Structure 1
Amino acid sequence: MTTRTPDTGHDTDTAPPTVRFTGAVRAFGDVRAVDGLDLEIAAGETVALLGRNGAGKSTAISLLLGLDEPDAGRVELFGGQPQTAVRAGRVGAMLQEGRAVPRVTVAELVGFVAGRYPAPMDVKEALRLAGIEKLAGRRVDKLSGGQTQRVRFAVALAGNPELIVLDEPTAALDVEARHAFWTSMRAYARRGHTVLFSTHYLEEADTNADRIVVIDHGRVVADGSGAELRRAGGGSSVSFDLAGRGTEGLAALPGVLSVEVRGDRARLRSDDPDATVMALAALDAVRNLEVRAASLDDAFMALTATPEDLNLLERV
């Protein structure tokens, strides 16, 4: 897969990437949460970070923000130390942890945070970008979950950062709140800023990111657009009713990468669905046939599947 550098007006031949991991390693005991991570993000890109629980996403974000140090390798922001970029106000972050501050209004909170930065964003502009102008006079500890999350987004914007890092920003939000949040985020990104977000909602990554980076066991296993990941993840799905026939030989059919059986229906992941269907027809096994392109969910599962996962699928 290839990645793209967007036209943001920056001289990408001379300017360092906004984000650079070079062979980064971070271990906790015998567990390597980040294991030789290599990743670059150019100025102006919106990049989604995907991975199963424990894949290393949150640890990578901690290294990126200077909250932790790598045991080996390098992590750089704008060509320098992460802590330097954070202190200069070039980075804003919205992490999973955090509680509402009691007895202060939204405007007071965002204004206080903005005052800690050398060249902050105007408070009214931060509230507007986050879509919470009407909440300016409300107490932060009296807001709904969705409203609080958007306040946290405004706080992350308060320093007028060039890069914003969002760790599971829409976790536990309802559909309406998620939609409102991404509308706000896209408005920020359209200004040419760089966005890196992690999420478990694959449709969010597909809709809102220029690139999707999949991490597994602390390393990048895929990097590209949603369409590129779908192609890399195994082409198409061929499903049909078994109608009492066994599953013997299905895994050996042309193009078949994996077999999943649920009840009386088989689902074959194939990188050559035409050849797979022709082989099924020759076996007189075409009953209620369905062929469809792989979804991003399919691709994600294929890209992060272990041999044990594939064996389990065949036994379902």
Structure 2
Amino acid sequence: METQTATQALTLSGLTKTFTGLGDTVHAVRGIDLSIPSGQIMALLGPNGAGKTTTVDMILGLSTPTSGEVEVLGLKPKQAVLGGRLSAVLQTGGLLRDLTVRETVTVIAAMHEVPERVNEVMERARLTGIAKRKIAKCSGGEQQRVKFALALLPNPDVLILDEPTAGMDVMARRDFWASMREDAGTGRTIIFATHYLEEAQSFAERTVLMRQGQIIADGATSELRSLISGRHVTATLPDAQAVAAAEASDPNVSIVERNGLRVQFSCQDSDRLAARLLGELGAFDLEISAPSLEDAFIQLTKDPS
């Protein structure tokens, strides 16, 4: 991987994308400004229709912005791709089913004129043990690892991942992200879209939330939960009357989840609620926690209407 001279790995400026057809206009992306420094692992989250895929397509040069600009290491997207500086692992796009895993990597390595990198990327993607297996016999998770190996062949500075661990089991996902951390440590910038919120919480230094084509939250993943107020208090209550009394005691207290007499409350003042649950209502086994990334995701991306 070449030493990066650009200040930012990726810069989006005033980015918009509008689709028109059959008399209908869809504003898929509505003016995005975003800068991502080299070596950062960033998660891109949002509900279906938020504009994530359209944004990724414009970053990769697969779609032309209606307005605004995309720069990857100071280059236009297509220049970055052709120069091997930008690569991607996408859900779309198939592999040749009759080739083996090694044959697949070898063919693409020849196209990039980097045959010497075959063994390295095979090991990086944990494919050595299934090198002779035909693609048709590979699981969905194994095929994702093959795509990952292919994306690594040009030794890119910026790597885009679209649901990279789809189909992988828990251990495979853990190994994959351990590898990603190593790559980011060498200066590679990694941007990934995922529906596994725990992956963003565990592996992304930064999380960007999109809704209706706009960025609605952008910050360190560890701090994103603070964007929504309140705390969760979970306790076991002695009877249904106590549950009702706890919720009725304060307009800022609401039940988030209930399993019998085990109840999770959302509240503004967790100390006050905890004191009342334990002292007045006879609750026990009480826990207080901050909102999770999933809580932030649900609250921040829900339709404002």
- TM-score when scaled to structure 2? 0.84
**Structure 1 residue 239: deviation in Å?**
4.0
Quick check: 1:20 aligned with 2:1? no
Q: Is the 8 A contact 1:26 1:35 kept in 2?
A: yes
Structure 1 pair 266/135, CA: closer, same or farther in 2 (3 Å)?
closer
Alignment partner, residue 238 of structure 1:
233
RMSD: 2.9
- Percent identity over paired residues: 41
Correspondence for 1:63 among 52, 58, 61: 58
**1:82 to 2:77 alignment:** yes
Q: Quick one: distance in 2 between partners of 1:167 and 1:305?
A: 22
Q: Secondary structure at the match of 2:111?
A: coil
Distance 1:106 1:282 in 2: 60
Q: CA deviation at 1:118?
A: 6.1
The residue identity in structure 2 corresponding to 1:297 is E
State yes or no: 1:135 paired with 2:126.
Answer: no
Shift of 1:68: 0.6
- Aligned position for 2:215: 220
> Which is worse superposed, 268-277 or 173-182?
268-277
Contact preservation (8 Å) 2:90, 2:164: yes
The alpha-carbon deviation at position 249 of structure 1 amounts to 5.6
> By how many angstroms is 1:158 displaced?
1.1
Q: Does 1:48 align with 2:47?
A: no
- Residues 44-102 of structure 1, C-alpha deviation per residue, up to 9 Å, x if partnerless? 11111111122111111111101111112222211221111111111111101122313
Superposed CA deviations along residues 247-293 of structure 1, whole A, max 9, x for unmatched, are 8866634xx6x654647776443344235546x56995574554222
What amino acid does structure 2 have at the position aligned with 1:18? A
Paired position in structure 2 for 1:186: 181
Q: Are 1:111 and 1:158, in contact at CA under 8 Å, matched by a contact in 2?
A: no
Other-structure match for 2:166: 171
What amino acid does structure 2 have at the position aligned with 1:24?
L
Q: Which amino acid aligns with 1:82?
A: P
| Structure 2 unaligned blocks of 5 or more | none
Gaps of 5+ in 1: 1-8, 309-316
Contact 1:121 1:158 in 2 (8 A): no
Does residue 291 (structure 1) correspond to residue 278 (structure 2)? The answer is: no
* Alpha-carbon distance change, 60 to 271 in structure 1, aligned in 2, over 3 angstroms: farther
Distance 1:282 1:143 in 2: 54
SS at match of 1:160: coil
Q: Structure 2 matches for 1:267-278, cutoff 5 A?
A: 267-277=264-274
Matched, 1:97 2:96: no
The normalised TM-score by structure 1 is: 0.81
Cα–Cα, structure 1 residues 142 and 199, in superposed 2: closer, same or farther, change >3 Å?
same
Shift of residue 213, structure 1, vs aligned partner: 1.4
1:302 counterpart (299, 302, 305): 299
Residues 145 and 251 of structure 1: CA distance in aligned 2, closer, same or farther (over 3 Å): same
What's the CA shift for 1:121? 6.5
Aligned AA (2:294): D
Instruction: State the aligned residue count.
Output: 293
Change (3 A) 1:33 1:247: farther
User: What is the rounded CA distance, in whole Å, between the counterparts of 2:68 and 2:34 in structure 1?
Assistant: 12
TM-fit CA distance, 1:217: 1.5
SS in 1 for 2:62: coil
- CA–CA distance in structure 2, aligned partners of residues 145 and 107 of structure 1: 17
Distance 2:17 2:273 in 1: 43
Indicate how the Cα distance of structure 1 residues 98 and 250 shifts in structure 2: closer, same or farther if over 3 A, else same.
farther
Contact residue 112 and residue 154 of structure 2 kept, 8 A? yes
Does the 8 A contact of 2:10 with 2:37 survive in 1?
yes
| Cα 1:160–1:303 shift into 2, 3 Å | same
For 2:93 and 2:146, the matched residues in 1 are separated by: 12
